[in-house]
Structure 1
């Protein structure tokens, strides 16, 4: 499963890449044909709900294959249309399901099948072109036709540069693309400075293979707080560092561990700039070898919003971090 730490998740990369201003395209509808691999994926369950998926033995494709398991109705999606879907994603090379966002494997999105996407993301473009409302589509897409244009290392998500990805799309709507919205500001936000965590600090037991963090019976902190459990002695982590670290994340709201590296048997490695802001702030300025505990409020984590069991929005998160290496 995808580690929940990166601020740029797989689902966000896909959705943000596709929801763009539309440009007119050709009006033909030449659907991508099925192949032996797309037809070998078994999918069951109610349309519109996350399906049960049985993956065949590991496989790779050199070009996109597309199979329609449930036939909908209405006009097919033409180039330039918007396609509303729920979707899930698997790595065909490993057979594992990919998290699209923290704690989320079934996500809603609006994709725009315009000429820009045809050039930059041909696999997704051809998967959704000619789809009808009510279709359930299975696509096997080589990663070169999905993430290749971004030049982004997706190894932290369990996606290798030559892996094949399988999407299951439930198409809930097809229609004209929305008018483009103004581009968001790209001005970098300054990194927050954590305050010293001095009261209601969780107890940390590092005596076993998997650390134990015990939260106190207290309200969740509203500020970004940092407790240095052990000072490091190695290189200093900067905002430009790529860091190898072990971590354990616990939700203050649920009291449950939602992700950790310790049970996977190997630390994580990420550029610091790809992590959520509160996590980054906890590491920058620390030295290799340090062990820290940080409380991250929603504003520096996954954003404010109603708390649910689908993601980490609205939750205050506690991370135990052990910094192993920095480059």
Structure 2
């Protein structure tokens, strides 16, 4: 299985039209068992559950850091059938969570979700149900979605960078701290090179960690950007064990809060154009990345075993095929 660079953060469908309205049976929704690493929480409620308006309920209040506008947070999600409370899937066993940015885009598209998050703390668990899910389980019950705010991430980096080391492509940044990689020059690299442009003071990245990061990648041959989380507006999360070798070796041991430039030779990236073939979606040859490490968290064992390849942040992730929310198409997200 080909190891990859991280995918985008769209796996958890956050089509939550959160309100405070009441509904038939909604007050009965309770948390039966807390979530644990790799395992979703258990919930109980009177069945069949049917709501006439969108509902929310705090099942467990958070006790961590407060969530503020502009924050990046990690979420886990689980979905339960309204007819009999059976599980319809969850993200807990697929990774450490998905990243959501609590920004103006979210405020405009889902103002109730924005309000709910900006009044939450780390650890909070929120239940949600909507009449838009009626009929999804073969009857007129409405499903129950459970979302946990697992972690507040550090803000995107916007600090003074040092000049890249000799032989490394130049890197500049705009007023928001978004980096741009200069077109590489000279012969393609034969060895992996790393350079810490901003030195963080957080925990060191372990090979077994899931890393939360912003990144931009360019081809050595022409300097063209082939993937960037900055352009998408939200960081990504990925188990370090499931990425290309250049990322594994280049990020392990670096500290949270660091900006790292990686020059990756072909044999530690995706491979040559000949090996990949003409129809490959993967960039061939040597690559250059700038990666901002915004956080780490332990990777559930099941996530390492089940990860599937994807060429870039523009492609669907392994967990997207098992996303818990049935309302993705309804909201257009």
TM-score range, shorter chain: 0.3 to 0.5
- How does the TM-score come out when normalised to structure 2? 0.39
Structure with more relative contact order (C-alpha pairs < 8 Å, separation 6 or more)? 2
